[in-house]
Structure 1
Amino acid sequence: MRTLDRYIFRQLILPIGGAVAALTAIALLSQSLTQFDLVVERGQSAWVFIKITLLSMPQLAGLIFPIALFVGTLVALTRMQGEHEFTAAYASGMSLMRVAYPILRIGIYLTLISLMVNLFIQPLTNRAMRQELFDVKNDLLSSLVKEGDFATSPTGLTIYVQRIDQNGLLRQLFIRTDEADGRDRTFAAREGRIVKVDGSSVLVMRNGSNQQLTEKGVIEHQTWDQASFDITSYFASDDYLQFKEGDRYMHELLFPINYAYEKSIRGKYVAEANARLANPLYNIAFVLLAIVSVLGGRFSRNGYAQRIGVAAIIALTIRIFGVVVETASASAWVLNLLQYIVPMIPIFVCLHLIRKHDGTTGRVHQATRRDRTVLQPL
């Protein structure tokens, strides 16, 4: 029996792995398109773009794994059924439940992986992604400086840059500060770069000059090879990094800090916590739907397109309904129980159909053996 389990397991690994890889590639493409403005509009590097795209992937694992498991299992089972491999297993006395055991085991493995991702990896990567997006939003270079445009901050700093290189180097820049005493300063430099020094943003300029009007009304002009200008105060921001419910660990969702804001959205926290525990169950539900659609009925030489189509519609309906229930649970706590019931219903129904099929198959085998016994004396 172990040899057959390993054989079925090997036959399923490649189609399921291929489905996971294909869906992951599609999800990466989708996420990259949504984050493409980081490079186009905010002038971020390709590494920041790739990093944010990859960090957003774990939260999609709950959608990718069940679908990949369903598609990969259907491909493998259809091929094996068409080659009469399961017919030989039934003839040797194996039941459908025994044949389905190694297939179901793969679904259990992916369920445990999804659970680990939801509980630990997703909040970890989401926090890192949120930090990256926060840094991009508050990046002085991307928030204000635009190539070929004069931009003015709310504090009165005007800056012009002719060109911005991919490495963040500013070419041909001009700066004017609006001083309270009316003695404005202007800076002109061939190149410059914004760097962090002890938490402050400092503009380091090279090959330039500055002008300032003195108290006597005389313009003071200086030239230099390198000069530094602290621009932190001109870009003061009251924004702060705030983690959403998808960025929090389970203990933070179930036992939030007693702030008025968090108490007001406690329903979202509870719904998110239950969703992380319930969503992995869709892996088992979808793999059982694939088993029943191919092996849960009579052998058909014309294929199983109709049964597979019905199973696909059922899987899609269940998953959409699960998303609706998850969203509604944020406003009604009692609906959180439905998050577990929705995937459990197809699990119990499929297990019942498998046992029913085993009972029918067993009676057929017993009748066949009786007929053989009666015919033997003849």
Structure 2
Amino acid sequence: MSLLSRYVFRQIAVATVLATVILVFAIMLTTSMRLIQLIVDGGVGVGTFLHLVILSMPEFLIAVLPIGVVAACLIIYNRMLADGELLVMRGAGIGQMRLALPGLAMAVIITGFSYSMTLYFWPVANREFRDLSAIAQSDVSAALLQTGEFNAIGDSMTVFVRDRNPVTGDLSDILVHNTDNQDQPVTIIAKRGYIEDSDDGPRMVAIDGVIQQLNRKTGRVEPVAFDSYTVPLSSAGAEDLARNYRQPSERFLPDLLYPDPNSPRDQKNYGRLVMEGHKRLTDPLLPFAYVVFCLGVLLSGDYNRRGLARRILIAALGVVAVQATTMSVAGMARDSLALLPLMYALPVLTTVVGFAILLLSRRRHVPAEAPRASGMAPA
């Protein structure tokens, strides 16, 4: 890479990092509220909270890296065109591909980084994030129950707590609905209670309440008052099943492309798993495709010192259109795997179109000498 190319590459690299950091920070502000709630309502330590935030980073990076590198290329090349720097480079005989080389090099780096995220770091982080969240939420000190909300415990229990004393941890106005026995659902209402740990996991001790259970013989609900009643909050079977069964975001590529034929849940979600596997292979291609297309649009046409707003708009709209089409095709491929080739065709076609624009665009001619005034003969 020549000195000029390295000069442009450094600017693009710095702009990409800045754009990515800003976008990640913005996403974290809007999506980490549920993690902050673990500190405010649940008493989770700051160290655990920061660990959870770090484990969320691969997902954020996968989402913002294509936007960051595209924004960096558009900003840097537009500035260099407006300042006349690229015009000077063209006058020195530098062609379209050499002008685009720094942006293409940055796009290749982002593509490789994206592959490392989707194929390894993202599933590893999601696994640890899920396990750590489960530990934090099942810990007594983390206060499993969120106040003012209906909390689902496993598949058969719903718990509502109106308020929690921040000092003692005592609960008030408790409602528990248990459907372990579908024929005889149980509803527990208590004025107050507290959570304690046990060998079998966390449990809630309800005080001064009533149990309501349907009597199938009489068809009536029979309330039974109590002074103290213990409600287990750990559904071991559901937790074991949840931890043993990995979601698509927690799986590595082979587990997605070749679901377990002996797992009923894998076979039920076969299309979703296979689509997610191919998505891991196609999504990292998009940053390179976007950059090639944007550079093709931006570097084509004539020089305009007033800016390239129209070409930037065309490039941005093209990227948005490809991204929207990619998401739509991925959604449809979940139900029809015959559409999987389209997931590969979109980034490849976008790349081909971008290179075609770069190679076929008219080369600018810079005059070798100043134009002569009209009517004057050469000396």
TM-score by length of 2: 0.72
1:74 aligns with 2:78: no
> Where does structure 1 lack aligned partners over 5 or more consecutive residues?
148-153, 174-191, 204-230
- What is the match of residue 6 of structure 2? 6
Q: % of aligned pairs identical?
A: 24
User: CA shift at 1:277, angstroms?
Assistant: 0.7
Give the whole-Å Cα distance in 1 for the aligned partners of 2:349 and 2:145.
Answer: 54
- What is the match of residue 361 of structure 1? 363
AA aligned opposite 1:61: L
Contact 1:42/1:142, CA 8 A, preserved across alignment: yes
Give the whole-Å Cα distance in 2 for the aligned partners of 1:233 and 1:33.
Answer: 29
- What is the match of residue 254 of structure 1? 257
User: CA shift at 1:172, angstroms?
Assistant: 11
- What is the match of residue 113 of structure 2? 113
AA aligned opposite 2:143: S
Give the whole-Å Cα distance in 2 for the aligned partners of 1:286 and 1:262.
Answer: 34
Give the whole-Å Cα distance in 1 for the aligned partners of 2:10 and 2:58.
Answer: 26
- What is the match of residue 88 of structure 2? 88
User: CA shift at 1:114, angstroms?
Assistant: 0.1
Partner SS for 2:17: helix
User: CA shift at 1:330, angstroms?
Assistant: 1.1
User: CA shift at 1:40, angstroms?
Assistant: 4.0
Contact 2:329/2:339, CA 8 A, preserved across alignment: yes
- What is the match of residue 337 of structure 2? 333
Q: Structure 1 residues 78 and 145, CA, compared in 2 at 3 Å: closer, same or farther?
A: closer
Q: Structure 1 residues 76 and 136, CA, compared in 2 at 3 Å: closer, same or farther?
A: same
User: CA shift at 1:309, angstroms?
Assistant: 0.9
Q: Structure 1 residues 142 and 2, CA, compared in 2 at 3 Å: closer, same or farther?
A: same
Residue by residue over 1:255-286, the C-alpha shift from the partner in whole angstroms, topping out at 9 and shown as x without a partner, is 33321211121111111111111001111122
1:32 aligns with 2:36: no
User: CA shift at 1:16, angstroms?
Assistant: 1.3
User: CA shift at 1:69, angstroms?
Assistant: 0.7
1:239 aligns with 2:238: yes
Give the whole-Å Cα distance in 2 for the aligned partners of 1:100 and 1:260.
Answer: 50
AA aligned opposite 2:69: L
The partner residue of 1:284 within 272, 282, 288 is: 288
- What is the match of residue 212 of structure 2? none
Give the whole-Å Cα distance in 2 for the aligned partners of 1:334 and 1:146.
Answer: 47
Contact 1:130/1:243, CA 8 A, preserved across alignment: no
User: CA shift at 1:144, angstroms?
Assistant: 5.0
> Where does structure 2 lack aligned partners over 5 or more consecutive residues?
149-155, 173-193, 204-228, 373-377
User: CA shift at 1:146, angstroms?
Assistant: 6.7
Contact 1:31/1:53, CA 8 A, preserved across alignment: no
Q: Structure 1 residues 38 and 145, CA, compared in 2 at 3 Å: closer, same or farther?
A: closer
Question: 1:207-356 alignment to 2 at 5 Å?
Answer: 234-237=232-235, 238-240=237-239, 241=242, 242-257=245-260, 258-356=262-360
Residue by residue over 1:113-161, the C-alpha shift from the partner in whole angstroms, topping out at 9 and shown as x without a partner, is 00011000000000111112323443446235979xxxxxx99xxx9x9
Give the whole-Å Cα distance in 1 for the aligned partners of 2:276 and 2:171.
Answer: 50
Following superposition, which runs of at least 4 residues in structure 1 exceed 4 angstroms of deviation?
144-147, 169-173, 192-196, 199-203
- What is the match of residue 190 of structure 2? none
Contact 1:290/1:311, CA 8 A, preserved across alignment: yes
Contact 1:110/1:283, CA 8 A, preserved across alignment: yes
Q: Structure 1 residues 263 and 232, CA, compared in 2 at 3 Å: closer, same or farther?
A: farther
Q: What is the number of equivalent residue pairs in this alignment?
A: 311
AA aligned opposite 1:239: A
Give the whole-Å Cα distance in 2 for the aligned partners of 1:49 and 1:16.
Answer: 27
Partner SS for 2:31: helix
Q: Structure 1 residues 306 and 202, CA, compared in 2 at 3 Å: closer, same or farther?
A: closer
User: CA shift at 1:290, angstroms?
Assistant: 2.7
Give the whole-Å Cα distance in 1 for the aligned partners of 2:147 and 2:75.
Answer: 52
AA aligned opposite 1:32: S
AA aligned opposite 1:244: Q
* Bigger radius of gyration among the two: 1
AA aligned opposite 2:363: T
User: CA shift at 1:44, angstroms?
Assistant: 2.9
Give the whole-Å Cα distance in 2 for the aligned partners of 1:162 and 1:19.
Answer: 42
Give the whole-Å Cα distance in 2 for the aligned partners of 1:172 and 1:368.
Answer: 84
Give the whole-Å Cα distance in 2 for the aligned partners of 1:103 and 1:162.
Answer: 55
AA aligned opposite 1:254: L
Give the whole-Å Cα distance in 2 for the aligned partners of 1:19 and 1:294.
Answer: 19
Give the whole-Å Cα distance in 2 for the aligned partners of 1:105 and 1:319.
Answer: 22
Give the whole-Å Cα distance in 2 for the aligned partners of 1:323 and 1:64.
Answer: 15
Residue by residue over 1:182-227, the C-alpha shift from the partner in whole angstroms, topping out at 9 and shown as x without a partner, is xxxxxxxxxx99668xx75489xxxxxxxxxxxxxxxxxxxxxxxx
Give the whole-Å Cα distance in 1 for the aligned partners of 2:342 and 2:146.
Answer: 50
1:142 aligns with 2:149: no
TM-score by length of 1: 0.72
Q: Structure 1 residues 93 and 45, CA, compared in 2 at 3 Å: closer, same or farther?
A: same
- What is the match of residue 179 of structure 2? none
Give the whole-Å Cα distance in 1 for the aligned partners of 2:230 and 2:119.
Answer: 38
User: CA shift at 1:37, angstroms?
Assistant: 3.4
Q: Structure 1 residues 142 and 82, CA, compared in 2 at 3 Å: closer, same or farther?
A: same
Give the whole-Å Cα distance in 1 for the aligned partners of 2:146 and 2:256.
Answer: 39
User: CA shift at 1:39, angstroms?
Assistant: 3.3
